Amino acid sequence: MAEKANYIPISHEAYTLVPPRPKEKNCTLARAARAFGFTAIALFSVHMVLSSVNFSHLGRTTGCGGHGRLIHDAKLKLPAYYSLPSGDRIPSVAFGTYTPGTPQDQVGNVVKTALKAGYRHIDGAWVYGNEKEVGRAIKESGVDRKDLWLTSKLWNSFHRPEDVEPALDETLRLLQTSYLDLYLIHW
């Protein structure tokens, strides 16, 4: 004869991590209340953001000597360059060489076109992976190096003091130049 087990049976639901759901009932009203609450919070948030924005200054500029004039104002002009305390003159507009999606063999043509159009400030970076093509284009353009302002950037992985000079040397080698006018920390 089998002996009676001396234990209290525990239901399987006691071991589940998710609390048991209450018995099904009509929750249409509860769903509607949640949806209304969410919508009310969203609309209140949008209202608070829009009420804090001053739309009267849209279409205006204050940088580069704009002094709040309309952007489409025909009289708005940038200076050709800015004079630095050292006496150097940095062109006010630079041509950026970050060209995602542009095949490497076309980067040089893009840079030569920019130089032909009158750009004299070329802004690049080692991480763009196109300094060799940019340097070759500058050489082939016929524009004297002394008439250009070259900017490049030190990438994040080279910020340790012992890594800066080798990174700069590599950039100079790729650009085929003996100096940069501006070397920035790329962050």
pTM: 0.60
State both tokens at 171. 């950039």
Residue 9 lies in a domain: no
128 tagged catalytic: yes
- Shared domain check, 151 and 122: yes
- Shared domain check, 131 and 69: no
Q: Which residue among 54, 76, 98 closes a domain? A: 76
Segments forming the whole domain that contains residue 99 = 81-185
Surface-to-core class of residue 14, CB atoms within 10 Å of its CB (0-12 exposed, 13-18 middle, 19+ buried): exposed
- Shared domain check, 90 and 147: yes
Surface-to-core class of residue 133, CB atoms within 10 Å of its CB (0-12 exposed, 13-18 middle, 19+ buried): buried
- Shared domain check, 86 and 47: no
Question: Catalytic: which of 81, 119, 128, 183?
Answer: 128
63-113: pLDDT as tens digits: 555 555 555 555 668 899 999 999 999 999 999 999 888 888 899 999 999
CA distances from 135 to 61, 95, 182 (A): 34, 14, 15
Q: Which residue among 38, 55, 76 closes a domain? A: 76
- Shared domain check, 93 and 46: no
109-159: pLDDT as tens digits: 999 999 999 999 999 999 999 999 999 999 999 999 999 999 999 999 999
- Shared domain check, 71 and 48: yes
Q: How much is the pLDDT for 86?
A: 92
